[in-house]
Structure 1
């Protein structure tokens, strides 16, 4: 995906597109474990819209209609679900006098911790009071707009993430559609349609049924059977040929179809299940870290601590005491 990015200086600046002095501000908010393909597709949609409008403006990016910024609660390096990292700006860098037009929330495993932090929910409340639109899953929006629920049990926040993960394809399509609607309202239907066609062309599958068409209709019964099998055996030593057997497919075909139909590899799905269980057990129980690691199929406490550090930037003890974003 060709991206024209403002590169971070000293590792702390966000990826930003177009000039800061021009265009409507779009914020793409990511949490640890976010979907990298979805984030990239949202960013590319606005970048393409900028590119398509540039010939008419004869002033390049200075008059581009959109400027897109990647955001996270604390800023800095954020890990995607594929372990690739992006640099983001923190919420504190954006004051009420410079609001965004629209904020897209791309949920991830780090969402659970974020929703337990009053600073985060207050930032979103302030954003909406400034007239900034929030585009996110329905459950995330309900949580952010219900102050009385913010002190609720951790499992409620976990459920929000698990629900978003199950319906990732549908939620992703809804956010992308919202991006196209913004482009259409500002630049007209012709550019919005060109953006949609160009992105669809770049993501076409070489197989008879396109990946986009499969994602829209959701996982097949065979892939759902494999997902249920993984959900039942996530805490065991799992071989992918066993999951393929549950789907009644060859292992090679299973790996290909799972990726197309869910947007992630079977191993990434399995690791999400394990990571969610680790976070839940750390908060809900007093079990030793070594015990949790063995129960969740991680092996030992050292590997668990390394995983938590890479995903959330905290130790198990720190995560138990309070959410650290």
Structure 2
């Protein structure tokens, strides 16, 4: 029995190209019976996350408006028998889209025989709209006589072209999504999205991002900073951090300090103190346990650092800030 999903586009609903100073980019995803829900869902999730990340840092940039479309509109059934509601694609509304992605899936070959859909793709291309394919969605673009991929540099093995492999579908859609984000918004947002969406059995984040172009020094520094934040509760070697950035330890220290404003060691200590503050105000964990969980070794060292940073002990900090968000405690130079 089929299940139905009606696409919810709460934050993607505006048709305007500009809203409150924010540029809106409309992305259409072409669906058909037998499309891959995995790939489609991955792209939607990635763009939605990019919108949220920009809001979280109060960046007035670009918002993605995602629209699910099909040749005739209405309900379309994916390869796993889930029904999704789509809007009708017609020649008059094509100019509303900044880019169109054709979903892959087990039904791609049959969909390539749909004359109306193939005609609409040709019209879209003639209007200069960027068209890309997710997975084996390139079959439709080939039928339309279009160059189906500007990502030919991406290495794809035979399994990646197999529409019956959800993991391959997901990886392909993720790469396309990250490429779009890197070009439109920047490497830092693309990297943040990748860190949240890449599963343990996916390719490593740096491996995926490396296929999208060489990051700048500033991008490497920001990526390294995020790595230090994620690993601040563990024993961290600056040699490992430099190796991940593909730099010598000396160059890593110098460039990190220039781009971030702190040395890697200072940044790591700040991350550990911030995590400690969060645990002090949101949990009843003993000081010694918090110190161990945040990489500060023990309660005695943590107490010394708190007195130097905040002129109070961890216990006093907990009492003063109980119930108050401590995600961004005031930080002073510890050098």
What's the TM-score once normalised by structure 2's chain length?
0.46
Larger radius of gyration: 2
Task: Return the structure number with greater helix share.
Answer: 1
Bigger relative contact order (CA 8 A; separation at least 6): 1
